[in-house]
Amino acid sequence: MTKMVLVVDDDPTQRRLIQAVLEREGFAVAHAESGDAAISHLMAGARVDLILLDLVMPRLSGQDTLKEMRARGFHQPVIVVTAQGSIDTVVQAMQAGACDFFVKPASPERIIVSIRNALSMGDLRGEVDRLKKHKTGRFTFADMVGSSAPMTLVKRMGERAAKSTIPILITGESGVGKEVIARALHGASDRAGKAFVAVNCGALPENLVESILFGHEKGSFTGATDKHLGKFQEANGGTLFLDEVGELPLDMQVKLLRALQESEIDPVGAKRSVKVDVRIVSATNRDLSLAVAEGRFREDLFYRLNVFPIEAPALRERKDDIPALVEHFIRRFNVEEGKKVVGCAPEALQHLLAHDWPGNVRQLENAVYRAIVLSDSPYLQPFDFPAISGIVAPPPPEAAPAPLASSAISPEAARELMAELPKDAPVRILDERGHLRTLEDIERDLIQLAIEIYAGHMSEVARRLGIGRSTLYRKVREQGLDGVIGGSEDGETEAA
């Protein structure tokens, strides 16, 4: 998605100049002629990824505008622009929350570098916040990416269910983000900040399922050299997420049902039961009602888990969320891979929107990851997604051919080449046989031509040839051109 830059400046000429620079680099630009207009633009909900803010404006100054933005909860990166480059001005802007500054007039290169660095810093800050929320169990539905109708329904249902202890079953295809929903349920509940323990029931070795879930005592079986608490006790006070719960063996389903009903577990080899306080959130990509009919899943456990079902939509049912998901993954992988990709080109995004995504969000995530690693341009192109777009990357430019040997040009080819040159060309590059003349001969003709064009004004001749006057006089002597400058009109001498 193209990055949107808000240019806040009371000078319309300055705004247009900056707009031309930014649009040439692929950024979208919005204008605000004052601080009040900038705040109104943000309050209206317009998308803004970065703000270029002039410090000297009538009514509301840049400093006051920045403070007002931060007070109203707008945390986009801000680069201040000033004609007064004093240390005090810079310090005040940084203290108010600016991430960089430049002094007018600034070169286009300086502006673009500053913007890209600010966007990269914003990506890093956002990724740190995301990881903190995941680690502390405070990831909520507000942090989930997506505002399509199906995702809005999921968020609304999840927020209601999170406030209670009701068992929740999340259904949906593989790769739709069921664990993300489970983490949001935990973060939106009263157990936020407590332990969130995820278990993939389909990946548990059958002979260790009981020990992993419920724990064991030391010496309870061969190899049990230490006491193991198990996932239920690890999640005590928090949330236990049972992913792919339909893969549990039937005998473990009985013990899981008892743990849910009695809120206590029996570790392997223990003499008494252990009370646990755990919120259960389970998930499956299978039809559990069909598994019940086929005898592969206990009916009583199914009704115990399926009290509040939430269906996670497939990505093909929420394609409106693809641009936001792509932008989220770009920010994340920029940080992880040390890249500076700005966004996704519109033509590449069209290919992503047209794809069916059988692997859902996980497939999209991996596609963007590959594109980020291989991309060398600021924006991801269609050829960065060859499996999606069917377009392969253009071949690298061919290396320049090796110089031809002295005998490689035939006399006929040389004559044809010379015939293409102007008949009155004052400095000839090739001789009559089509070979290059020596550098000394070409240089002599060039100096003689310059002296004739500028009527012997040696200062101007030296300036046009890009050499010093003393060097010019030395070459004149070496080339035997003293007679050409004998009557120089400006009266310059070698001593001059």
Q: What's the whole-model pTM score?
A: 0.67
Burial letters for 180-191: b for 16+ Cβ neighbours within 10 Å, e otherwise? bbbbbbbbbbeb
Residue type, 492: E
Residue type, 193: G
Say which CATH superfamily domain 141-313 falls into. P-loop containing nucleotide triphosphate hydrolases (3.40.50.300)
Q: Could you give the 3-state DSSP secondary structure of residue 162?
A: helix
| DSSP letter assigned to residue 382 | G
Residues of the chain with CATH 1.10.10.60: 411-485
Which CATH entry fits the domain spanning 317-389: 1.10.8.60, 3.30.360.10, 1.10.150.170, 3.40.50.720? 1.10.8.60
Measured in residues, the chain has a length of 496
Alpha-carbon span 19 to 490, nearest angstrom: 49
Alpha-carbon span 99 to 103, nearest angstrom: 14
Alpha-carbon span 68 to 72, nearest angstrom: 6
| DSSP letter assigned to residue 438 | P
> 4-133: what fold?
Rossmann fold (3.40.50)
Q: Report the DSSP pairing between strands 78-82 and 50-54.
A: parallel
Q: Which two tokens stand for residue 132?
A: 């903190």
Q: Which CATH architecture has domain 411-485?
A: Orthogonal Bundle (1.10)
Q: Can you give the pLDDT of all 496 residues of the chain as single tens digits?
A: 678 999 999 888 888 889 998 988 888 899 999 999 999 999 998 889 899 998 888 888 888 888 889 888 888 899 988 876 567 776 777 887 888 888 877 888 888 988 888 888 877 777 788 888 888 888 999 999 999 999 999 999 999 999 888 999 999 999 999 999 999 999 999 999 999 999 999 999 988 899 999 998 888 887 778 888 899 999 999 999 999 999 999 999 999 999 999 999 989 988 889 999 999 999 999 999 999 999 999 999 999 999 999 999 999 999 999 999 999 999 899 888 888 888 898 999 999 999 999 999 999 999 999 999 988 888 899 999 999 998 887 776 655 454 444 444 455 555 554 555 555 556 667 666 667 778 788 888 888 888 877 777 888 888 888 888 888 888 888 877 776 665 444 444 443 3
Q: Which of 354, 300, 280, 279 is nearest to 322 (CA)?
A: 354
| Other beta carbons within 10 Å of 431 | 13
Q: Which two tokens stand for residue 469?
A: 């006057």
Q: Which two tokens stand for residue 362?
A: 């996980």
Alpha-carbon span 483 to 151, nearest angstrom: 88
Q: Which two tokens stand for residue 402?
A: 């090796």
